[in-house]
Structure 1
Amino acid sequence: MNKKRTIIVVDDNKGVLTAVQMLLKSHFEQVVTLSSPTTLLASLREVNPSIVLLDMNFTAGINTGNEGLFWLHEIKKQHPTLPVVLFTAYADIELAVRGIKEGAADFVVKPWDNQKLIETLDTAILPQKNIKKRKQSIEQPASSMYWGSSHAMENLRLLVEKVAATDANILITGENGTGKEMLAREIHRLSKRNKEALVAVDMGAITESLFESELFGHTKGSFTDAHADRQGKFETANHSTLFLDEIGNLPFHLQAKLLTALQRRSIIQVGSNEPIPIDIRLVSATNRNLNEMVRKEEFREDLLYRLNTIHIEIPPLRERKEDIIPLTELFIDRFCKQYDKGNITLSSAAKERIIKHPWYGNIRELEHAIEKAVIISDTPTIPAELFTLPLKTTMPEEAASTLEEMEMKMIQKAIEGCNGNLSAVAAQLGITRQTLYNKMKKFGL
């Protein structure tokens, strides 16, 4: 660390201040310690620090972290680019994530590891371009995630980079087509478990009769056609990440079995009585409102708490319009190479039409529209006429008031458009036939 830098440390425990000052004096030119945040803003103006290490609790008997968040906001009002690392004696990931969402660079839990504290401060101070270079130098699988340039996605990216390194369970929510599985794979790529392959399970595609066998495995002879022992998805994902997609489609009576496995950190194969320890990082995803399902007693509240240590909501594409054209150009480049079409660009009118479209099917709908346009186009510039899209910029009244209603209407429309050909419907919606069957059964179609 460059020693020609200043740090302000704010903590009401004088013993902590003394220990931190002794540790950091060889890494900073000046270490300013404050036992109360009341003089913090004045100190910021006086010493112009490189970073602030801010305790989250100052009033005896009140340990909610609200004081630290309050002073974090005050710092950011006057010094929006100043990195702030939160200091807390309570390993509350949810509170730390809230602080990161609201502008903190990182957090450190007391009692701290000296080297870890120094590395955290060092990383927070580094210019962003240097951080990116350092991250790129770390050997890990290449990312296929497109973050875009919107403010919403930038905040989401920063949150993901913080929580991916932990083993906290993550629940990803968002509309159909927003890229929940891709985000799950990005979280795995950035995790400590990325040397092992992510194991993905489409919960909407598993039949109830095979649920336990698919997830927990079975022994030879445990049921008809069980000709050999077989590992389940939990055991396959041992020491890796298990991604449970469409978790909201799991029937209520099977949710208890999943909860038991997560609580005990072990599974029992069908036909066996021997528990098998499992070490997994769980990431789940759904487009359904699980809190509403809990209210309707369709989803177990205790299971939701287990899944939802960290909640990540992916915004719909219509709420980040600045990402639409860059995404479109990425898809054009990909499909031009795939179909050997040479270089193709969008006309100005086509760009305008694409931006105005609400994209209720999100990135998946955009991808399919671009693929079709590239295939059909006979000119180096794609005209607007190749995008037969409605020009409405607001959600129509008949559209779903809930995500489930929207999904049902989308499936109904696809079935009508494909004249009842369910294979074509599944392909159009980008889901498996089994998932389509399950959804049709759920919606009574």
Structure 2
Amino acid sequence: MKLVDALVCVIDDDASIREAVCGLLRSEGLRVETYSSADDFLTRDRAEPPGCLVLDVELPGLSGLQLQRELFRQEPHIPIVFLTGHGDISMSVRAIKAGAFEFLTKPFDPEELLDAVQESLLTREYRGPRTKDQESSLSGEIVGLGHAYRALIKQIAVVAPTDSTVLIQGETGTGKELVAREIHKLSRRKEKPLVRVNCASIPKELYESEFFGHVRGAFTGAVKDRMGRFEAAHGGTLFLDEIGEIPIELQSKLLRALQEKQFERVGDERTRRVDVRVVAATNRDLKAEVAAGRFREDLYYRLNVFPLRVCPLRDRREDIPQLARYFVELIAKEMKCTKPRLTEAGVIRLQEYDWPGNIRELRNVIERATILARGKVLEFDLPTAAAPASVAPVLPAYRLGSQANAEPEFMTEPEIQRRERENLRIVLNKTGWKVGGPSGDAELLGIKPTTLISRIKKMGLSRET
């Protein structure tokens, strides 16, 4: 669903308000249906669900808040923008808590209403209805809608209730720790601790003490007894992050603890038993590490009981819109600032980038853009990168030399100018020559309206050309 194809339903008993909102939204290319009451809306032909509701609070018969509750039982994913002439703060709080997207007072500001509707449509398009798989996720921190996301959630749901060891594999920044937390939260051990050990950050001489603890006087600096991470995680989950970084000479002691569920503190003869569920994560190919002699094969098989692979962000581009929306809301809340606007053009820009730093990099980019936006439109400063294969443009080009000694393809200056002119005409015709404003030509192209106007004049373009 593209935003220009979206259906917006306006429900208000004031005919002048219905007319004004309808005209405003249709001027943006949106399809609009109007209703004078909630009952009229509920009895409509339900062939196509609306992408958004613009809803009055005070209506004859069923009120706006009552309709909101009714729709939430049926279709909780329809965003609602409330309009009211009363400005009742307690009422707006109830509406927002019940899931309203925005609450505006009459007389409304056209730009505010357009922004709210456009953003709510992005919510509808990019979030979509929650699936059963998503609802099984208690934390809500693992975000997505695509095939890779759904497959991962299903695997988590299968393994979490068991006590099996899990090995999470994936590139740096893909969210392996989030997966580990989700497994713990969905397990029978959720009331017990989740203890994380970053295996890459422990000095070699302290590994044994960190894992198993020590007694006073066991070595220089051991001034008192200390509990290790295995013991601290008793009854819960031990998350061994970056497991591939453990020196091979120390891996045998870890293997024994995993196999026998027992260990000794450094300097102590007493054997202690422990009940822990182990979840490990790595950005390395442990099979290759075994082949290279840097990782014990028996430890690998002990860890690899239930492998989970977290895909890199470049392989799940369909999840980028929802992830971006999630981070915009989260970061704005953390910063206690006005939430900036995520545009369709901005989302496309994010999807065209390859994200070598994965989700961690995406969050950093959005946080930087949020700081610079100051509550306005988000603009993303990303390195120039080749577009993904699925959206790579097919351009005619010239080639010099024989096929055997082919040089890189290129275009002549007249060809570049012709392509740029054609591209600009396509965008202008797409929006009906709406140069500025939300979802206007300048926003779609990612440039300033003044720059676009200058280019139009320079190229001699008009509606008739």
After superposition, where does 1:178-327 map in structure 2 within 5 Å? 178-327=174-323
Distance 1:360-1:340 versus aligned 2 partners, 3 A rule: same
Q: Which amino acid aligns with 1:191?
A: S
Tell me what 2:356 maps to.
360
Contiguous gaps of at least 5 residues in structure 2: 1-129, 390-465
Aligned-pair distance for 1:131? 9.1
Q: Is the 8 A contact 2:341 2:377 kept in 1?
A: yes
1:149 aligns to 2:145 (yes or no): yes
Q: Is the 8 A contact 2:133 2:154 kept in 1?
A: no
Aligned-pair distance for 1:394? 5.5
Q: Is the 8 A contact 1:147 1:157 kept in 2?
A: no
Distance 1:334-1:129 versus aligned 2 partners, 3 A rule: closer
Q: Secondary structure at the match of 1:270?
A: coil
Distance 1:336-1:145 versus aligned 2 partners, 3 A rule: closer
- Give the counterpart of 2:381 among 375, 387, 393: 387
276-285 vs 223-232, which deviates more? 223-232
Cα deviation code 1:405-437 (max 9, x no counterpart): xxxxxxxxxxxxxxxxxxxxxxxxxxxxxxxxx
After superposition, where does 1:326-345 map in structure 2 within 5 Å? 326-345=322-341
Distance 1:331-1:147 versus aligned 2 partners, 3 A rule: closer
Cα deviation code 1:327-367 (max 9, x no counterpart): 11111111112223313112333222111000111100000
- In 2, distance between residues paired with 1:326 and 1:179? 15
Tell me what 2:402 maps to.
none
Cα deviation code 1:102-133 (max 9, x no counterpart): xxxxxxxxxxxxxxxxxxxxxxxxxx978987
Q: Is the 8 A contact 1:353 1:391 kept in 2?
A: no
Overall identity of the aligned pairs, in %: 42
Tell me what 1:169 maps to.
165
Tell me what 1:99 maps to.
none
- In 2, distance between residues paired with 1:178 and 1:131? 19
- In 1, distance between residues paired with 2:204 and 2:132? 50
Q: Which amino acid aligns with 2:285?
A: N
Q: Secondary structure at the match of 1:176?
A: coil
Structure showing greater radius of gyration is: 2
Q: Secondary structure at the match of 1:171?
A: strand
Q: Which amino acid aligns with 2:233?
A: A
Q: Which amino acid aligns with 2:340?
A: I
Aligned-pair distance for 1:388? 2.8
Q: Secondary structure at the match of 1:188?
A: helix
Paired positions, count: 260
Q: Secondary structure at the match of 2:211?
A: helix
Q: Is the 8 A contact 2:174 2:312 kept in 1?
A: yes
After superposition, where does 1:56-67 map in structure 2 within 5 Å? none
Aligned-pair distance for 1:257? 1.2
Q: Is the 8 A contact 1:200 1:242 kept in 2?
A: yes
Q: Is the 8 A contact 2:142 2:178 kept in 1?
A: no
Q: Secondary structure at the match of 1:392?
A: coil
Distance 1:264-1:322 versus aligned 2 partners, 3 A rule: same
Tell me what 2:92 maps to.
none
Tell me what 2:156 maps to.
160
Q: Is the 8 A contact 1:350 1:387 kept in 2?
A: no
Aligned-pair distance for 1:391? 2.9
Aligned-pair distance for 1:155? 1.2
Q: Which amino acid aligns with 1:294?
A: V
Aligned-pair distance for 1:218? 0.5
Q: Is the 8 A contact 1:202 1:246 kept in 2?
A: yes
Q: Is the 8 A contact 1:147 1:154 kept in 2?
A: no
Aligned-pair distance for 1:379? 5.3
Cα deviation code 1:202-229 (max 9, x no counterpart): 0000111111111000011111221111
Tell me what 1:369 maps to.
365
Cα deviation code 1:231-257 (max 9, x no counterpart): 100000111100000001111111111
Q: Which amino acid aligns with 2:205?
A: S
> Could you state the TM-score of these two structures normalised by the residue count of structure 1?
0.56
- In 1, distance between residues paired with 2:149 and 2:382? 28
- In 1, distance between residues paired with 2:144 and 2:291? 35
- In 2, distance between residues paired with 1:334 and 1:145? 10
CA RMSD, 1 decimal: 2.0
Q: Is the 8 A contact 1:345 1:382 kept in 2?
A: yes
- In 1, distance between residues paired with 2:276 and 2:375? 50
Tell me what 2:18 maps to.
none
Cα deviation code 1:304-336 (max 9, x no counterpart): 010010000001111111110111111111111
Distance 1:322-1:394 versus aligned 2 partners, 3 A rule: closer
- In 1, distance between residues paired with 2:375 and 2:156? 41
- In 2, distance between residues paired with 1:132 and 1:259? 35
Distance 1:299-1:192 versus aligned 2 partners, 3 A rule: same
Aligned-pair distance for 1:156? 1.2
Distance 1:145-1:343 versus aligned 2 partners, 3 A rule: closer
- In 2, distance between residues paired with 1:181 and 1:191? 15
Contiguous gaps of at least 5 residues in structure 1: 1-127, 137-141, 396-445
- In 2, distance between residues paired with 1:159 and 1:359? 25
